[in-house]
Structure 1
Amino acid sequence: MDVTFVGLATWDTVVQLPRLPDADGRVVAEALCTAGGGPAATGAVAAARLGLRASLVAAVGTDPEAELIRAGLAAEGVGTEGVAALPGHTSGACVVLVDRPRASRAICVRPGPELRLAPGTAAAEAVLAARLVHVDHVGLPAVEELLGTLPEAAPRPLVSYDAGNLGPRRCPAIVDVYVPTLAALREVYGDRAAGADPLALLAAARADGARLVVATDGPNGAYAAGPDGTHHVPGHRDVTVRSTLGAGDVFHGALVAALARDRALPDALAYANAAAALSCRGLDGRSGIPGDTETRELAARVPAAPLAAPAVR
């Protein structure tokens, strides 16, 4: 595989509403759908739809939702040999309420089983054999533990970390590509960047060892910093937004896809930004994910621009 994604896979029920319900209230739904979700799983689907050979390492239960999760991934061409079914457990699931007028959503989560990567298992081998591994908040601890069992000089994959979910961490030692939201970057590095300036925050995260730092800023686009400088790409105002569910996960999948193809950081940033914007056309997190050609065309219309990064305190 070109890329292995490690972390959370869920089965989601997504409801579009004219407004969120009041306490003890009732609202007539405008639309309802079910679809696969989860940061790592949706990132893997995005990478596959953009032309990469992607696989997922995750833990599910032995319930009907587990079969739906696997089938949805397989239909997208995502390898599922590393998706472990744990007897006696229920799979991760979400109910998502999309507030259409505000283009926002509220998410209710049923956590799935804990993900562990025992050395020698198919899941562990899928991680160690990958060129690039992307982890979410569920996948990071498992991959850290696995890589910690390797001899110091042993080859290991490049690791990309989605630090924009629950409990964001400062850039861990195993991470090469650190990808938080700008809000998460402020939360964990605000003490080292005067005024929480985005460029100072990026520089602070790079000082912790990340080769590349990419921070998403919702409709305002994204920032990136690496050896070749710091860049910003604005948001796409001409894309109709139905729901932002999964847009960050699509951004990560597209960013990893671009980096796996050895694209320069500014091009990778614009590419991921375009894919995430286009994905907002769908109600769920996956139906709007574009293909490579459409993503390239939109990215070419809104490229990333260089910025001068300030020094870190």
Structure 2
Amino acid sequence: MSGNKRPVAGAPLRMVTVGGLCLSSLYRVDEIPPVPGKALASGFFQVADGMALSAGFAFLRLGGQATVCARIGDDELGASIRRGLAGEGLDTSGLHSVPAAKTSQAAIIVDRRGDRLVVPFHDERVDKSPDWLPVGDIAQASILHCDARWVEGAEHAMRTARKFGVPTMIDGDVAPLEVLQRLVPLADYAVFSDAGLLLYAGVNDVETALRRVAAEHAGHVGASCGAEGYFWIEEGALQHVRAPRVEVVDTLSAGDVFHGALALALLEGRSMTAAARFACAAASLKCTRFGGRLGCPLRDEVEALVLATYGAA
């Protein structure tokens, strides 16, 4: 595990997450119609959502603990989200209510193939300052995970984590290039989506992009490529773990579940190959279930799919 800090034997593993948070309304349809159009939803679900939050939830569901750091509005929706996340077992002490601001929301339409259309709303009055982030929680974390949706918070948190030797992981999903350029160099684990990696590297091939980024990055560089699995560079060679084949229902939060599972497996001392298998299995199982991050599987389910797909270690 990168970073100077090592988990204490027997101590619970804790992820601190920093990123965006919103209430997502999920609508399941047969086809996403062209605009203008109308489609009758066959399913509906609401869930507090966000990439870093979802990674933390997966980390929790698979056996760890998680503290969520994010900004919410000073409104009833924000209060409701706080209560709901606490009820799920997440530590919500890192949620910061911004006075006079509205909590973010998103409408997400998911078709029968698992593809989706996302329409978010973020209140421009939400303060971007990261000064309130809990230094003590970050310093005591087993790992810090950040997404790129709140660049000021992610940068501040990762610089703080570095001071205390806490390993850091960035979700390198699609974001403005200048945002990724600020955050990726601060991460011990730069775990991209394939689209985010290609954007960051400025090329159209995953292997070329991984080699280009890895040549300039001291830590781990990898890319989660959906059904194609996980690719990374190790000692100058391209490594790959294939994803289990599943019937896809909903891909929302699959990449986030991958991040949370990968971080937990690495903290438990698994090799990168074993950790990637565990993470691919977790993300694949999530894709078989409608409901975003709440479709994250339990640990026994993941271990069973790892064994069925890859065999015994």
What is the CA distance between 1:139 and its match in structure 2? 4.4
Q: How does 1:174-189 map to 2 (within 5 A)?
A: 174-189=186-201
Tell me the equivalent position of 2:268.
261
| Secondary structure in structure 2 of the residue aligned to 1:68 | helix
What is the CA distance between 1:58 and its match in structure 2? 0.6
CA distance in 1, matches of 2:158, 2:261: 25
Q: Does 1:272 pair with 2:279?
A: yes
Tell me the equivalent position of 2:105.
93
Structure 1 range deviating more: 224-233 or 56-65: 224-233
Tell me the equivalent position of 1:8.
20
Tell me the equivalent position of 2:239.
231
Counterpart code for 1:59: R
Q: Does 1:166 pair with 2:175?
A: yes
Q: How does 1:138-217 map to 2 (within 5 A)?
A: 138-146=149-157, 148=159, 154-168=163-177, 169-170=180-181, 172-191=184-203, 196-217=204-225
What is the CA distance between 1:204 and its match in structure 2? 1.9
* Distance change (3 Å), C-alpha of 1:71 and 1:227: farther
**For the Cα contact (< 8 Å) 2:147–2:154, is it kept in 1?**
no
Alignment counterpart, residue 59 of structure 1, candidates 56, 65, 71: 71
- Matched residues, percent identical? 28
What is the CA distance between 1:25 and its match in structure 2? 3.1
* Distance change (3 Å), C-alpha of 1:115 and 1:300: farther
* Distance change (3 Å), C-alpha of 1:148 and 1:23: closer
Tell me the equivalent position of 1:123.
134
Structure 1 range deviating more: 220-229 or 293-302: 220-229
Q: Please, which runs of 5 or more residues in structure 1 have no aligned partner?
A: 305-313
Q: How does 1:276-287 map to 2 (within 5 A)?
A: 276-287=283-294
**For the Cα contact (< 8 Å) 1:4–1:127, is it kept in 2?**
yes
Deviations 1:205-228 (A, max 9, x none): 222224211201111111123359
CA distance in 2, matches of 1:140, 1:156: 21
TM-score under structure 2 length normalisation: 0.86
What is the CA distance between 1:84 and its match in structure 2? 0.6
Tell me the equivalent position of 1:308.
none
Counterpart code for 2:300: T
**For the Cα contact (< 8 Å) 1:4–1:54, is it kept in 2?**
yes
CA distance in 1, matches of 2:158, 2:38: 49
* Distance change (3 Å), C-alpha of 1:128 and 1:111: farther
What is the CA distance between 1:80 and its match in structure 2? 0.8
**For the Cα contact (< 8 Å) 2:148–2:175, is it kept in 1?**
yes
Tell me the equivalent position of 1:288.
295
Tell me the equivalent position of 1:41.
53
